[in-house]
Amino acid sequence: MRPSDSLAPVLTVDGPSASGKGTVAERVAAALGFHFLDSGALYRLTALMAMKRGVALDDEARVAELAAQLPASFGGGAVRLDGEDVSDAIRAEAVGEGASKVAALPAVRAALLDRQRAYREAPGLVADGRDMGTVVFADAVAKVFLTASAEARAERRYKQLIEKGMSASLPALVADMQARDARDSARAVAPLKPAADALVLDTTDMDVVAAVDAVLAHYRDKSGK
Q: What is the pLDDT of residues 161-219, one digit of tens each?
A: 888 888 889 999 999 889 888 888 888 777 889 999 999 999 999 999 999 999 999 99
Classify residue 111: in a domain, yes or no: yes
Say yes or no to pLDDT of 4 above 60. Answer: no
Q: Is residue 76 marked as binding?
A: no
Domain that holds residue 121: 9-220
| Amino acid residing at 115 | R
CATH number of the domain residue 113 falls in: 3.40.50.300
Those residues whose C-beta lies under 8 Å from the C-beta of residue 209, and which sit 6 or more positions away, are none
pLDDT score for 5: 46
C-alpha 17/C-alpha 147 separation (Å) is: 9
**Alpha-carbon span 194 to 144, nearest angstrom:** 8
Q: pLDDT digits over 149-169, tens only?
A: 999 999 988 998 888 888 889
Residue 127 — φ and ψ, nearest 5°?
Answer: -115, 125
Asked whether the whole model's pTM tops 0.75, one would answer yes
Structural domain contains residue 109: yes
User: In this structure, are strands 142-147 and 35-38 parallel, antiparallel, or unpaired?
Assistant: unpaired
**Would you call 61 exposed, middle or buried from its count of C-beta atoms within 10 A (0-12, 13-18, 19+)?**
exposed
- Asked if pLDDT for residue 26 goes beyond 70, the answer is yes
Asked whether residue 19 is marked as a ligand-binding residue, the answer is yes
pLDDT of residue 77: 73
| 17 labeled part of a ligand binding site | yes
Report pLDDT digits (tens) over 96-105. 889 989 988 9
Residue 4 within a domain: no
Within-domain flag for 38: yes
Q: How many domains does the chain have?
A: 1
Q: Is 46 annotated as a binding residue?
A: no
Q: 77 or 3: which carries more pLDDT confidence?
A: 77
At position 215, the amino acid (one-letter code) is V
Q: b/e map of 31-53 (b: 16 or more CB within 10 Å)?
A: ebebbbbbbbbbbbbbbbbbbee
Q: Is residue 225 part of a domain?
A: no
- Residue 40 assigned as binding residue: no
How many CA atoms, within 13 angstroms, populate the side-chain half-sphere of residue 173? 22
Quick check: is 1 in a domain?
Answer: no
pLDDT at position 6 over 70: no
9 among annotated binding-site residues: no
- Give the count of beta carbons closer than 10 Å to the beta carbon of residue 205: 9
23 is in an annotated binding site: yes
**Residue 3 belongs to some domain of the structure:** no
